Amino acid sequence: MKKTLVSLVIFMNFFCNAQTSTEKLLLEGGYIYFNKNFADVGLKYKFDENHLMLGANALIGESNGKLLLIPEINVTKYFNAKNFPFPFARLNVSPKTVTPQFGFSMLVAEMGLGYGFALDDASSYQTKGFRLSLNFNIPLNFK
């Protein structure tokens, strides 16, 4: 499994360049640890040529045997997108949490670290604390 994942990442890096792509729409997917394990799926839209992206995604996980679905919106600014790896800053906002995040992007793969500040402590799951993410961005070509 590990060899397959590494091979897939290398293959995608050779054939896709998500953040410097001319495509405006990107498919996002990955893994997030935010006090629980989550799958992350969503879309990103390249807002301008200064590498500012707007995104909408959902964290999908499990809490106490029940499906947990957390919608989020985010804005990401990529810096120095000509050299690898290039850093990014992201602000994720969900109904329960605001999470600033910083990380590095290497073509389609991103790794980020952030801290979530809870907006509502009355939920059945904890939404504050450190957040670690590994995401992949795949340009969607509609031409």
pLDDT digits (tens, 9 = 90+) for 40-67: 999 999 877 667 899 999 999 988 888 9
Q: In terms of residues, how long is the chain?
A: 143
pTM: 0.77
**Please, are residues 140 and 25 in contact by the beta-carbon 8 Å criterion?**
yes
Q: What is the DSSP pairing of strand 52-63 with strand 66-78?
A: antiparallel
Q: Which domains does the chain have, with CATH numbers?
A: 2-139 (2.40.160.20)
Check whether 129 has a pLDDT greater than 80.
yes
For residue range 72-107, list pLDDT tens digits in order. Answer: 999 999 887 666 678 999 999 998 899 999 999 887
Q: What letter would DSSP give residue 90?
A: E
Q: How confident is the model at residue 116 (pLDDT cuts 50, 70, 90)?
A: very high
